[in-house]
Amino acid sequence: MHKFIERIYLDEEKCVGCNKCISNCQVPGANIAYLVDGNNKIKVNSEKCIHCGKCIKVCDHDARYYKDDTERFFQDLESGKKLSVIAAPSLMVNFNEYKKLLGYLKKIGVNFIYDVSFGADISIWAYIKTMKKDNFNSIIAGPCPSIVNYIEKYQPELIENLAPVQSPAICTAIYMKKYAKISDDIAFLSPCIAKTDEINDENTYGYVKYNVTFKKLSEYLEANHIDISQYEEYNFDDISCNLGFLFSRPGGLKENISVYMKDAWIRQINGTQYSYHYLKEYSENLKNKKEMPLVVDILNCSHGCNFGTGTCNKYTSSTTIDEVDYKLNKLKIVKKADKCGELSHNYFDKNLNIEDFKRLYNKNSIIDDILEPSDKQYDEIFTKMNKRTKESRNINCSACGYGSCKTMAICIFNGLNVFSNCIDYNKKEVINEHSLLESRSEFFTNISHELRTPLNVIYSVLQLENVYKDSLTADDILKYNKILKQNCLRLIRLVNNIIDISRMEAGFFKPLFKVENIVSEVENIALSITTYAENKKMNLIFDTEMEEVYFNCDANLIERIMLNLLSNAVKYGKENGTIRVYIYKPNAHNVTISVKDNGIGIPEEMQKKIFNRFQKVDTSLSRKNEGSGIGLSLVKSLVEIQGGTITCKSKLNEGTEFLVTFPIASEGNKLSLDMEKHMLYEKNSTETVDIEFSDIYW
Contacts of residue 498, Cβ cutoff 8 Å, sequence gap at least 6: 447, 630
**Residue 597 touching ligand ADP (CB under 6 A):** yes
For the bound state, the minimum distance from the C-beta of residue 645 to ligand ADP, rounded and expressed in Å, comes to: 17
**Minimum separation from the CB atom of position 687 to ligand ADP (A):** 20
x/- mask, ligand ADP, residues 282-321, rule CB under 6 A, reads: ----------------------------------------
Neighbours of 364 (CB within 10 A): 8
Nearer to ligand ADP, 591 or 630 (CB): 630
Q: Looking at the DSSP assignment, which residues form a beta bridge with residue 553? A: 514
Q: Of 85-93, 214-222, 593-601, 666-674, which part binds ligand ADP (CB under 6 A)?
A: 593-601
- 579 with 566: CB under 8 angstroms? yes
Question: Is 602 among the residues that bind ligand ADP (CB under 6 A)?
Answer: yes
Q: Which is nearer to ligand ADP, 498 or 679 (CB)?
A: 498
Shortest distance (Å) from residue 55 CB to ligand ADP: 50
Q: Does 454 help bind ligand ADP (rule: CB under 6 A)?
A: no
| Distance in Å, CB of 567 to ligand ADP, minimum | 7
Read off the DSSP letter of residue 8. Answer: E
Q: From the CB of 691, what's the least distance to ligand ADP, in Å?
A: 17
- Binder to ligand ADP among 617, 646, 665, 675 (CB under 6 A)? 617
What minimum distance in Å lies between the beta carbon of 518 and ligand ADP? 21
Q: Which is nearer to ligand ADP, 564 or 688 (CB)?
A: 564
In the bound state with ligand ADP, the residue whose beta carbon lies nearer, of 22 and 569, is: 569
Give residues 545-584 in contact with ligand ADP (rule: CB under 6 A).
Answer: 564, 568-569, 572
- Residue 692: burial class (beta carbons within 10 Å; 0-12, 13-18, 19+): exposed
Stretch in the footprint of ligand ADP (CB under 6 A) among 6-14, 89-97, 187-195, 613-621: 613-621
Given the complex with ligand ADP, which of 55 and 630 has the nearer CB atom? 630
- Give the bridge partners for 40, in sequence order: 35
Among 616, 636, 644, 660, binds ligand ADP (CB under 6 A): 616
* DSSP-derived secondary structure letter, 251: T
Task: Tell me the closest approach of the beta carbon of residue 650 to ligand ADP, in angstroms.
Answer: 7
Minimum CB separation of residue 542 from ligand ADP in Å reads 17
Give 466 or 620: the residue with its C-beta nearer to ligand ADP.
620
- Identified binder of ligand ADP from the candidate list 42, 600, 638, 646, rule CB under 6 A: 600
Report 207-226 residues binding ligand ADP (CB under 6 A): none
Residues 122, 562, 610, 665: which binds ligand ADP (CB under 6 A)? 610
The DSSP bridge partners found for residue 579 are: 540, 597
For ligand ADP, give the closer residue by CB, 400 or 600: 600
Task: Specify the amino acid at residue 621.
Answer: L
- What counts of helices (H) and strands (E) characterise the chain? 26, 18
Closer to ligand ADP by CB, 421 or 564: give it: 564
- Which residues ranging from 229 to 268 are in contact with ligand ADP (CB under 6 A)? none
Binding mask 645-664 for ligand ADP (x = CB under 6 A): -----------x--------
By CB under 6 A, the residues from 628 to 647 that bind ligand ADP are: 628-633
* Cα 260 to Cα 140, 242, 264, 455, distances in angstroms: 18, 13, 9, 102
Stretch that binds ligand ADP, among 89-97, 515-523, 597-605, 684-692 (CB under 6 A): 597-605
Helix (H) or strand (E) holding 696: none
* 89 close to 332: Cβ distance less than 8 angstroms: no
- Whichever of 158 and 569 has its CB closer to ligand ADP, that residue is 569
* Shorter beta-carbon distance to ligand ADP: residue 336 or 651: 651
Q: What's the CA gap between 569 and 566, in Å, rounded? A: 5
Q: Which is nearer to ligand ADP, 204 or 564 (CB)?
A: 564
Q: How far is it, in rounded angstroms, from Cα 417 to Cα 400?
A: 9
Among 244, 599, 643, 644, binds ligand ADP (CB under 6 A): 599
CA nearest neighbour of 675 among 542, 553, 564, 579: 553
**DSSP output for 488-522:** HHHHHHHHHHHHHHHHHHHT------EEEEHHHHH
| Minimum CB distance to ligand ADP smaller for 41 or for 616 | 616
Q: Which stretch binds ligand ADP (CB under 6 A): 92-100, 148-156, 343-351, 614-622?
A: 614-622
264: how many CB neighbours lie within 10 A of its CB? 14
Among 19, 204, 344, 622, binds ligand ADP (CB under 6 A): 622
What is the 3-class SS of 163-225, one letter each residue? CCECCHHHHHHHHHHHHCCCCCEEEEEECCCCHHHHHHCHHHCCCCCEEEEHHHHHHHHHHCC
* DSSP codes joined into one string, 404-456: -HHHHHHHHHTTSS-GGG-HHHHHHHHHHHHHHHHHHHHHHHHHHHHHHHHHH
We find the least distance from the C-beta atom of residue 651 to ligand ADP, in angstroms, to be 10
Residue 238 Cα distances to 99, 110, 112, 206, 275, angstroms: 14, 15, 9, 21, 33
Q: Does 500 sit near ligand ADP (CB under 6 A)?
A: no
Three-class secondary structure of residue 606 per DSSP? helix
Task: Tell me which DSSP letter residue 630 carries.
Answer: -
Q: Which residue is nearest to ligand ADP (CB)?
A: 627
Size of the site for ligand ADP (CB under 6 A): 22
* C-beta of 99 vs 613, nearer to ligand ADP: 613
What CA–CA distances, in Å, run from 327 to 75, 246, 580?
34, 11, 93
DSSP structural state of residue 232: P
Residue 121 near ligand ADP by CB under 6 A: no
What's the half-sphere exposure (Cβ side, CA atoms, 13 Å) at 530? 10
627 binds ligand ADP (CB under 6 A): yes
Under rule CB under 6 A, residue 138 binds ligand ADP: no
Residue 389 near residue 395 (C-beta atoms within 8 A): no
Q: Cβ closer to ligand ADP: 168 or 573?
A: 573
Interface with ligand ADP, residue 493, by CB under 6 A: no
User: Percentage helix, strand, coil, to 5, in the chain?
Assistant: 50, 15, 35
Q: How far is the CB of 607 from ligand ADP (least distance, A)?
A: 9
Residues near 466 by beta carbon (within 8 Å), at least 6 away in sequence: none
Q: Rounded to the nearest whole angstrom, what is the least distance from the CB of residue 529 to ligand ADP in the complex? A: 14
Closest contact distance (angstroms) between CB of 643 and ligand ADP is 21
* C-alpha–C-alpha distance, residues 147 and 205, integer Å: 19
Question: Which residues in this chain contact ligand ADP in the complex, by CB under 6 A?
Answer: 564, 568-569, 572, 597, 599-602, 610, 615-617, 622, 627-633, 656
